[in-house]
Amino acid sequence: MENETKLMSVRDAIIMAMSEEMRRDESVFLMGEDVGIFGGDFGTSVGMLEEFGKERVRDTPISENAISGCAIGAAMTGMRPIVDVTFMDFIVYMMDNIVNQAAKTRYMYGGKGQIPVVFRCAAGSGVGSAAQHSQSLEAWFTHIPGIKVVAPGTPADVKGILKAAIRDNNPVIFLEYKAQFNMKGEVPLDPDFVLPLGKADIKREGTDVSVITYGRMLERVMQAAEEVHESDGVNVEVVDLRTLAPLDKDAVLESVKKTGRVLLVNDAHKTGGFIGEVAAMIAESDAFDYLDGRILRLAADDIPTPYNHILEKAMVPSVERIKKYILKLVNKR
């Protein structure tokens, strides 16, 4: 089983990762609204109640403040809760507990108050959930010391990084994208398959442009990279951050020095978005001296997400827009 893989969806990779960790460690449990009999609002815990029982797959009241408080308290006393936040937008009700309690406790108690809790957040637009159920709020949490933030973009990475997040002794915000729950890919079946937090991955080697991205946009960036290579001979390097906090700065800067051109892409709003921090980090480093042009950012428009599917589609970077920005950097068009 060590090298064996199976084609599966992001949804099934999430279920596999949680189930493997719950079999491995009895202190791991899942909690959230409708995670039990219903199998999760997005089907990400189907079958888990039957295997692990209601003590370890806990349906909660509709109170995000209570859910996050109970999870953090359980983590402080030796458990390892996984919280299904469902829509990431609902995490605003958990902010005090996460930002003022979970993020600070380990520091304030000299490392003795560990908070091993994972907040799984269904993020992003693309499924017609409108303005109050379509946000990607990762930038809020990368600003807070003490919280780790991850955003994998393939089914295999989802499994490996979720397992690492569950094993980590710090609070972790885990982004999973609603528009990609059905996306399929080869996933290792080895229960010991774990990917390190804080380590980016070069998804495509290249020499002309570095496109730095994460999460949902990875799939579109990869497609754009292949198409501009075929149509214009542009060799794009794709850097998948995977973990936003801690950020793998070395991987980013090495790629920038290699290609001399940078495009940053995400599906969160442009103003105050996380890719702006990456751009600033590049500008302040010695990699800046290797640049042959401007650092470009491509992100979602600064508007609430429309319900209308045509407008919703138009507000986030498309493959065609990514290609246009890549070609702009190399002066091809």
Ranges of each domain in the chain: 5-188, 201-329
Distance, in Å, from the CA atom of 9 to the CA atom of 135, rounded to the nearest integer, reads 22
Instruction: Summarize pLDDT for 99-146 with one digit per residue, the tens.
Output: 999 999 999 999 888 999 999 999 999 999 999 999 999 999 999 999
Return the biggest CA–CA distance within the chain: 60
The CATH number corresponding to 201-329 among 3.40.50.920, 3.40.50.300, 1.10.10.10, 3.30.420.10 equals 3.40.50.920
Query: Which amino acid is located at 289 in the chain?
Result: D
- What DSSP string runs through 139-178? HHHHTSTT-EEE---SHHHHHHHHHHHHH-SS-EEEEEEG
Domains 5-188 and 201-329 equal at CATH topology level: yes
Distance, in Å, from the CA atom of 204 to the CA atom of 108, rounded to the nearest integer, reads 41
Give the SS3 label for residue 106. helix
Neighbour tally for 126: CB within 10 Å: 17
| C-alpha distances in Å from residue 178, one per residue of 124, 134, 287, 317 | 6, 9, 35, 16
Distance, in Å, from the CA atom of 158 to the CA atom of 148, rounded to the nearest integer, reads 15
Distance, in Å, from the CA atom of 220 to the CA atom of 179, rounded to the nearest integer, reads 12
- Residues 6 or more apart in contact with residue 3 via CB below 8 angstroms: 188, 190
Report the chain (333 residues): mean pLDDT per 10 consecutive residues: 90 98 98 96 97 97 97 97 97 97 95 94 95 97 98 98 98 97 97 97 98 98 98 97 98 98 97 98 98 96 96 97 96 67
Give the pTM.
Answer: 0.96
> Residue written as tokens 């999460």?
215
Query: Which amino acid is located at 163 in the chain?
Result: K
Q: With 0-12 CB in 10 A as exposed, 13-18 as middle and 19+ as buried, what is 288?
A: middle
pLDDT at 333: 56
229: annotated active-site residue: no
Give me the CATH code for the 5-188 domain, please. Answer: 3.40.50.970
Pick from 204, 254, 220, 234: nearest CA to 329 = 234
Instruction: Summarize pLDDT for 49-68 with one digit per residue, the tens.
Output: 999 999 999 999 999 999 99
pLDDT at 225: 98
Active-site hit among 133, 143, 229, 269: 133
